[in-house]
Amino acid sequence: MLYLRQFRIPDMGCASYLVGSQGQALVIDPQWRIEPYLKVARKEGLEIVGAVDTHLHADHVSGNRRLAAEAGATVYLHEDARASFEHIALKAGQVLRVGDVELEVLHTPGHTGESIVLKVTDRTAPENHPILLTGDTLFIGDVGRPDLAGAEGAAQLFESLKTLAAFPDETVIYPAHLSGSLCGRSLSKAHSCTLGRQRQFNEALKMDDREAFIHYLMDDVPPHPADFERIIKLNRNGPPVEIAAPRELSLEAVKALLDDRAQLLDVRDPAEFWQGHPAGALNVPVYSNHFGPNMANFINRETKVVLVAEDQTDAQEAVELMANVGRSQVRGFINPVLSGELQLAREAELTTPEFNAVVESGTLAVLDVRQPGEYAGGSVPHSLNVPLQRLNQPEILEVVRQFYDQARSSGRELVVMCGNGNRSSVAASYLRGFGITSRNLVGGYNAYQESKVLVA
> Residue 287 belongs to a domain with what CATH number?
3.40.250.10
- Is 244 part of any domain? no
Roughly how many angstroms between the first and final C-alpha of the chain, as a whole number? 55
The CATH number of whichever domain residue 54 belongs to comes to 3.60.15.10
CA angle 180, 178, 171 (to 5 degrees): 160
What are the pLDDT digits (tens) for 24-37?
Answer: 999 999 999 999 99
> Are residues 378 and 433 part of one domain?
yes
Q: How far apart are CA 339 and CA 337, in angstroms?
A: 5
pLDDT at 178 over 90: no
- Are 355 and 441 in contact, with CB atoms under 8 Å apart? yes
What are the pLDDT digits (tens) for 42-74?
Answer: 999 999 999 999 999 998 999 999 999 999 999
List for the chain the helix, strand, coil content (%; round to 5): 35, 25, 40
> Are residues 55 and 21 part of one domain?
yes
The pLDDT value given to residue 356 = 87
Mean pLDDT of the chain: 91
> Are residues 143 and 284 part of one domain?
no
Give the closest residue to 107 by CA, choosing from 163, 67, 60: 163
Choice between 74 and 141, residue whose per-residue pLDDT is larger: 74
pLDDT at 216 over 70: yes
- Is 396 part of any domain? yes
> Are residues 168 and 19 part of one domain?
yes
- Residue 84 Cα distances to 88, 171, 238, 279, 395, angstroms: 11, 35, 7, 43, 38
The pLDDT value given to residue 343 = 81
CA angle 190, 61, 191 (to 5 degrees): 10
182, 210, 237 - which closes a domain: 237
> Are residues 259 and 169 part of one domain?
no
Q: What is the mean pLDDT of residues 193-208?
A: 90
Give the closest residue to 222 by CA, choosing from 389, 386, 55: 389
Return the CA Rg of the chain. 24
Band of pLDDT at residue 357, cut at 50, 70 and 90:
confident
The pLDDT value given to residue 90 = 98
Q: What is the mean pLDDT of residues 9-34?
A: 92
Give the closest residue to 76 by CA, choosing from 96, 109, 106, 52: 52
> Are residues 424 and 287 part of one domain?
no
> Are residues 377 and 319 part of one domain?
no
Q: How far apart are CA 2 and CA 126, in angstroms?
A: 12
- Is 242 part of any domain? no
> Are residues 372 and 335 part of one domain?
no
237, 266, 288 - which closes a domain: 237
- Is 390 part of any domain? yes
Q: Looking at residue 317, what DSSP letter applies?
A: H
What are the pLDDT digits (tens) for 239-290?
Answer: 888 888 999 999 999 999 999 999 999 999 999 999 899 999 999 999 988 8
Q: How far apart are CA 303 and CA 322, in angstroms?
A: 13
Band of pLDDT at residue 345, cut at 50, 70 and 90:
confident
174, 207, 237 - which closes a domain: 237
Band of pLDDT at residue 455, cut at 50, 70 and 90:
very low
> Are residues 225 and 80 part of one domain?
yes
* Torsion sign across C-alpha atoms 176, 180, 186, 190: positive
The β-bridge relationship of strands 101-107 and 95-98 is antiparallel
Q: Residue 213 class from Cβ within 10 Å (0-12 exposed, 13-18 middle, 19+ buried)?
A: buried
- Residue 28 Cα distances to 11, 37, 66, 166, 241, angstroms: 18, 10, 13, 23, 18
Residues ≥6 apart with Cβ < 8 Å to 106: 92, 116, 117, 118, 119, 163, 164
At 14, which helix (H) or strand (E)?
strand 14-21
Enumerate the H helices of 169-268 as residue ranges: 195-201, 203-206, 210-218, 228-237, 251-259
Band of pLDDT at residue 454, cut at 50, 70 and 90:
very low
Give the closest residue to 229 by CA, choosing from 110, 325, 136: 325
> Are residues 359 and 219 part of one domain?
no
pLDDT at 394 over 60: yes
Q: How far apart are CA 282 and CA 294, in angstroms?
A: 11
- Is 245 part of any domain? no
> Are residues 321 and 198 part of one domain?
no
What are the pLDDT digits (tens) for 400-421?
Answer: 999 999 999 999 999 999 999 9
Q: How many CB atoms lie within 10 A of CB 97?
A: 13
The pLDDT value given to residue 346 = 77
What are the pLDDT digits (tens) for 284-320?
Answer: 999 988 899 899 999 999 999 999 999 999 999 999 9
- Is 57 part of any domain? yes
pLDDT at 185 over 70: no
Q: What is the mean pLDDT of residues 379-406?
A: 95
> Are residues 364 and 323 part of one domain?
no
What is the number of domains present in the chain? 3
Q: How far apart are CA 129 and CA 148, in angstroms?
A: 32
- Is 246 part of any domain? no
What are the pLDDT digits (tens) for 123-138?
Answer: 999 888 899 999 999 9
- Residue 234 Cα distances to 78, 114, 116, 183, 264, angstroms: 16, 16, 19, 18, 26
Q: What is the 3-state secondary structure (H, E, C) of 94-145?
A: CEEEECCEEEEEEECCCCCCCCEEEEEEECCCCCCCCEEEEECCECCCCECC
Q: What is the mean pLDDT of residues 320-348?
A: 88
The pLDDT value given to residue 456 = 40
E-strand stretches of 221-334: 263-266, 277-278, 282-283, 305-308, 330-334
- Are 90 and 44 in contact, with CB atoms under 8 Å apart? no
The pLDDT value given to residue 344 = 78
- Is 449 part of any domain? yes
pLDDT at 20 over 90: yes
The pLDDT value given to residue 150 = 58
Q: What is the mean pLDDT of residues 181-185?
A: 56
The pLDDT value given to residue 157 = 93
Quote the domain boundaries for residue 375: 352-455
Amino acid (1-letter code) at residue 281: A
Q: How many CB atoms lie within 10 A of CB 263?
A: 20
- Are 105 and 76 in contact, with CB atoms under 8 Å apart? no
The pLDDT value given to residue 329 = 94
Q: Looking at residue 79, what DSSP letter applies?
A: G
